[in-house]
Amino acid sequence: MRPTYLEVNLPRLKQNLENIRAHVAPAKVMAVLKANAYGHGIDGVAPYIAPHADYIGVALVEEGIHLREIGIHKPILVMGGTLPEQIPAFIQHNLTLAASSLELLDAAEQAAQSAKTKLKVHLKIDTGMERIGVHDYEAEPFLEKSLSCSHLDIEGIFSHFANSDAPDLVHAKLQLERFSEVLYFYERRSLPRPPIRHMANSGAVLQLPESHFDMVRPGLMFYGVYPGRDVKRTVDVKPALTWHSRVAYSKITQPGRPVSYGSLWQPQSPARIVTIPCGYADGYFRRMTNQAQVIVNGKKYPQVGRICMDQFMVNVGNDDAEAGDEVVLFGDGITAEDLAEWAGTNEYEVMTNISARVPRVFVR
């Protein structure tokens, strides 16, 4: 195994899920496992967490198929955009379709009719994200059409917040108001089984209890990372991930001998520089050059010189550090927020960009 690897604490993920469930009860909880379980490793996370989730959310039909192939039987909603030619895969693998247009709804009805089966569908309403979904002000014909689709099981209806993790919730509350107005369609018809209503992502789970409806969709916070430094932390969650490595090389570098590509940094006095076998091909962003910190033998030190594809260097100064010594890149005091700040991005990109070539070790 590579000396650079991720350690994933599965019981901590379960505890995060239980804490979220207690906070949103009686709403159900959809565990969002897209993007390789936010970088944690889908093959280890899904079998462990699926028994404790009510629903599973993914972005791509391929992600849903993979979950079925590794033995996951829970309902799976594919939340991203889908093309009509992909619909037979939903039927074959018992996946739930996010119907985001009248055209897709028609195509789903025809495909299910041809297959002589029923296809589960959640209707996607765009209340202000402007990504996919039928606009809230054009939703009524869409909902009317859905009621006439005899080969579709209209199991749910949902929308998505654009700014639920912001300190100012004016836009989020406007979206919530728009979604609530769309839902009056079902109240007016007094249906015996109205669809499952869901809208709350991580920010809304934490900050907008009125948006919890029948089900919530925690993504980042399920993995123990809050969506931004300013979000209200109304649920206790803890990171489940630690990114480990080891020193691969150690030497004294003299002044006037720049470190790495571009010669962006050199020591002012003799310093011990250690090489870590991890780089931007592993998801350790090149743009963190001369900003990041790592922990070597329990102490924080600065990363120096341009981060390379497979390696980067750390200045441990006058301290001792030898090949084989323990290094922590994330965890034990280095947070996703830290990496996001150093890289000029957000916590989501930090987590989901950890490369598949970094081995995952699952701790039960």
**Can you give the pLDDT at residue 354?**
97
The pLDDT-based confidence of 192 (bands split at 50, 70, 90) is: confident
Indicate whether 233 belongs to any domain.
Answer: no
Told to judge if 261 belongs to the known catalytic residues of this protein, a careful annotator would answer yes
Say what the pTM is: 0.95
Residue 312 has pLDDT above 90, yes or no: yes
Question: Any idea how long the chain is?
Answer: 364
CATH code for the domain in which residue 147 is found? 3.20.20.10
Supply the range of the domain harboring residue 314.
Answer: 241-363
Q: Are residues 202 and 67 in the same domain?
A: yes
CA distance 349 to 283: 9
Of 223, 252, 280, the position where a domain reaches its end is 223
d(CA 79, CA 245): 35
- Is 250 found in the same domain as 351? yes
Residues 55 and 82 in one domain: yes
How far, in Å, CA of 134 to CA of 239, rounded?
35
- 213 & 271 share domain: no
In a domain, 236, yes or no: no
Q: Residue 163, Cβ neighbours under 10 Å: how many?
A: 18
Q: Is residue 24 part of a domain?
A: yes
pLDDT in tens, 55-112: 999 999 999 999 999 999 999 999 999 999 999 999 999 999 999 999 999 999 999 9
Share of the chain above pLDDT 70, in %: 100
> Is 5 within a domain?
no
Asked whether residue 289 falls in the same domain as residue 194, the answer is no
Mean pLDDT score across all residues of the chain: 97
What mean pLDDT is predicted for residues 315-337? Answer: 97
Tokens 């959640």: give the residue: 122
pLDDT > 90? residue 30 = yes
pLDDT of residue 296: 98
Number of domains in the chain: 2
Whether residues 215 and 279 share a domain: the answer is no
Instruction: Answer whether residue 325 is part of any domain.
Output: yes
Shared domain for 61 and 207, answered yes or no, is yes
Q: Does the structure show a pLDDT above 90 at 245?
A: yes
Shortest CA distance to 331 belongs to which of 275, 293, 281? 293
Which of 173, 189, 223 delimits the end of a domain? 223
pLDDT band at residue 194, thresholds of 50, 70 and 90?
confident
For residue 131, how far is the Cα from the chain centroid? 17
Same domain as 284, residue 212: no
Tokens of 167: 């300190």
**pLDDT at residue 229 greater than cutoff 90:** no
Q: Choosing from 137, 184, 249, 261, which is the catalytic residue?
A: 261
The answer to whether residue 229 sits within a structural domain is no
Between the alpha carbon of residue 315 and those of residues 87, 139, 347, the distances in Å are 54, 58, 25
Answer with the one of 223, 252, 279 that is the final residue of a domain: 223
The answer on 246 and 176 residing in a single domain is no
Helix (H) or strand (E) holding 110: helix 102-115
Assess if residue 304 is contained within a domain.
Answer: yes
Annotated active-site residue 5? The verdict is no
Predicted confidence at residue 190, as pLDDT, reads: 83
pLDDT at residue 189, as a whole number: 86
Considering the domain architecture, whether residues 32 and 160 belong to the same structural domain is answered as yes
**Is residue 27 situated within a structural domain?**
yes
Within 13 Å of residue 92, how many CA atoms lie on the same side as its CB?
11
Residues 76 and 113 both lie in one domain:
yes
Q: Which amino acid is at 212?
A: H
Q: Which of 290, 292, 266 is nearest to 350 (CA)?
A: 292
pLDDT of residue 1: 82
In a shared domain, residues 31 and 174:
yes
CATH number where 256 lies? 2.40.37.10
355 has pLDDT over 90: yes
Report the share of the chain in percent with pLDDT over 90.
97
User: Could you read off the pLDDT of 252-304 as tens digits, one per residue?
Assistant: 999 999 999 999 999 999 999 999 999 999 999 999 999 999 999 999 999 99
